[in-house]
Amino acid sequence: MRETQDTQIEHFPDRSLRRLLQDREYVRGLVQIIAPDIEGFLDFSRITYQKRSFISKALQERESDVLLSVPFQEDTDATDTDALLIYILIEHQSTVDKTMGFRLLSYMVQIWESQRREWETAKIPESERCLQPILPILLYTGDRPWTVPVSLTPIMDVPEILERFVPSFDTLFLGVKETAAEALTQSGHPLGWLLRVLQKEHADKTEISEALADAVSHIASVDENLAPQIAEALRYFVQLIFHRRSLEERDALVDIVRQHIQDHKELETMAQTTAEFLIEQGKVEGEAKGKAEGRAEGRAEGKADAVLKLLQLRFQNVPEVLAREISNIHNLSLLDTLLEQAVTAQSLDEIEIHFS
């Protein structure tokens, strides 16, 4: 079966970046890149996430969002602070949408409307009712250059005398693919280096190898206080490799990441992440093969292939005898057990013992 993005797990771009932005340090890194003048006024240590999305079901295939509240303190010596809402919209399709300004405004109005309802529910006195300002951020990962303003003007045609009646607001925009690499990494934050690799997700093998090696080298050398963010970045790179690169390239690219992982537990976590991908990938490939070879046999072949790929990732060299034995298994339940073992085993001996 020809391997394309269509055969790989969907929703990688939005799910992976949304997961990263659940980490307050990655939010700080994003603001560092896109609005360094504002960063110093925000207390990222006291971020509060709101578990709600404002995106309609029709648009969930192409974007995701993150809403959080962070204290804004204009005077660093002040004890009282005001809350600023940060709304991050992650757009990963390559279709440039000229209605984006209108959609962003509609999301912001929904946020304010939810605040208004909270006032009434909590019976907040009118003198204390105050809407929180929103900092809208559009994070665009598509390949096409973004060529339209993120405002209402692209979808409105009004004479100059009426322009003052058109609502206007500023939006922080980061087009990952069209931003200069140096601008992404100027702050030295792991997020910038991660985005530099994302820029090369569809580049040739040499380009992505160089970008990956450069990124993991810099990330591994940053402040040890960012250890959780470093680990998350390394996991992201592995996911990117398995979702975006061909089978022939994966081993060499994963080796670049593995060389910078010294913590055994982190290697296990990376293996777990990869296992999740391979299980899903095995299902996709198995179903496709099953159409031609018999559904059960196709699924078994796909899962057996996933087991072997995972063992190769974790232990590099899989003995030919063991590989052949796994390839000959047609019991789906046994293959599921082997997938779990491939994640938790400390050595290949444990896998071999299973067959003894």
Signed CA dihedral, 129, 135, 141, 145: sign only: positive
pTM comes to 0.76
pLDDT at 3 over 60: no
Q: Which two tokens stand for residue 120?
A: 């009434």
Per-residue pLDDT band at 334 (split at 50, 70, 90): confident
Nearest to 64 by CA among 85, 93, 87, 89: 89
How is the beta sheet containing 63-72 ordered, strand by strand? 48-50, 63-72, 82-91, 134-140, 172-175
- For 177, which DSSP code? G
Q: Which of 19-23, 74-78, 213-217 has the lowest mean pLDDT?
A: 74-78
Q: Which two tokens stand for residue 89?
A: 């919209």
Asked whether 207 and 200 are in contact (CB, 8 A), the reply is yes
Compute the chain's Rg from CA coordinates: 24
Highest mean pLDDT among 73-82, 216-225, 333-342: 216-225
167: Cβ–Cβ under 8 A, 6 or more apart, which residues? 105, 152
* pLDDT tens-digit map of 84-127: 999 999 988 778 899 999 999 999 999 999 999 999 999 999 99
